[in-house]
A and B are shown apart, each in its own frame.
Chain A
Amino acid sequence: MNSEYLTELYSNTKGSSYQCDATNRIIIRFGDITVSLRITDFLTFKRRVDSVDIHTMIFNTDDAYDVEIIDAPRTDQLFVLNLCDLILLRDLLAGTRFALDLNTLLHERIYNAVVY
């Protein structure tokens, strides 16, 4: 990865995220997993992570609800998440999304503003 094209978007205790302007991809590093996603796949991945029913994970004592397995679209990476991981991954993706939206806003209001 060429760092001149990389911008860090967000980070927390378990991971960090970057945008790569050379490949137009979002890079998510979480624990020891790194995936590089196209923007649509990032959005799909975020939806998947957000749609996990945390309530059931907490209150259902069945072993099957202890971990959640989520695959990142079009990668062969599986995220095996316990409750704590899930919350941290959600935070990472939400922070990333926020940074992306903030960037959109900057483009809208500043970079694209016509100056005469």
Chain B
Amino acid sequence: MKDLVRMRTSLKEETERILNEQIKMEAHSSAIYLSMAAWCDRNGFDYSAGYFYKQAEEERSHMLKIFKYVSDLGGTAVSPEVTNVPQEFEGFRDVFELALQQEIAVTNSINRIVATARQLNDFATDQFMQWFVQEQIEEEYVARRAVELFDVIGEEGVGRYMIDKAIPKITYGEAAE
């Protein structure tokens, strides 16, 4: 008897399912960053808005990367439904704390995928996901630095104005060493 499933795809059912969940999570991240961008815009935090617009784009590119991987391996990539996107936030600082929490949740999720891939001897997915493992180090670093600015600069007086200006200057890598 031919192995029809394997002829169709090299992805295991479980891997396909968790990758599709990650696709959804990246899409959700993108949507949250977009609403954060809008919130910053309407509250006068121009630079932060720009930062979140950029993040939103980046999350979409993460989503596409996984989407194409699933498709390329013969799996069924599911175009995600995005719901429950918060549109209002408590304040400037809360936006960044939420962003950090979001990145931490993504890191955990990525780690779970790698663990599952290893359990299933799915070395291709393991290796594919390593890019995301690396990416999350940067993502968390930047998000954490942003939150720290609130303590370093302080929110009083022109504090928020200064924080907003400092946000797009956060970089990970050489510049930050």
Please give the residue numbers on chain A whose beta carbons come within 8 Å of chain B beta carbons, in ascending order. Answer: 7, 19, 21, 24, 26, 39-40, 43-44, 97, 100-101, 103-104, 107-108
Report Cα–Cα, A26/B7, bound state, in Å.
14
Structural contact, B6 and A40, CB atoms closer than 8 A: no
Report Cα–Cα, A21/B8, bound state, in Å.
14
Report Cα–Cα, A40/B75, bound state, in Å.
9
Q: DSSP class of B's interface residues: helix, strand, loop or mixed?
A: helix
Please give the residue numbers on chain B whose beta carbons come within 8 Å of chain A beta carbons, in ascending order. Answer: 1-8, 13, 76
Structural contact, A26 and B76, CB atoms closer than 8 A: no
Q: Quote the shortest CB–CB distance from B28 to chain A (angstroms).
A: 20
Structural contact, A100 and B4, CB atoms closer than 8 A: yes
Report Cα–Cα, A19/B3, bound state, in Å.
10
Structural contact, B6 and A107, CB atoms closer than 8 A: yes
Q: A43-B76, A44-B76 are in contact. Are A24 and B5 (CB under 8 A)?
A: no
Question: Can you list 6 A-B pairs with a CB-CB distance of less than 8 A?
Answer: A19-B1, A24-B2, A39-B5, A39-B8, A100-B5, A107-B3
